[in-house]
Amino acid sequence: MKKRYKKVIYIFIAIVLISIIGGVVKYSFRYIDENPDKYIPKTKQIII
């Protein structure tokens, strides 16, 4: 019985961690899209 509860808890923790990581990545991409001048260099400024 305890083995079963342990497995359920591990699965629950894994789902929570994956969703937190996914949320952080999603937020980061949205922030970079809204502020491209801070993170993406403009190619017009590069002189060869």
Residue ranges of the alpha helices (H) in 1-48? Answer: 2-34, 36-39
Q: What is the pLDDT of residues 1-48, one digit of tens each?
A: 688 899 999 999 999 999 999 999 999 889 888 887 777 666 665 555
pLDDT given at position 34:
83
The pLDDT value given to residue 22: 96
Q: What letter would DSSP give residue 44? A: G
Res 44: pLDDT: 60
Tokens for 28, please give them. 């980061």
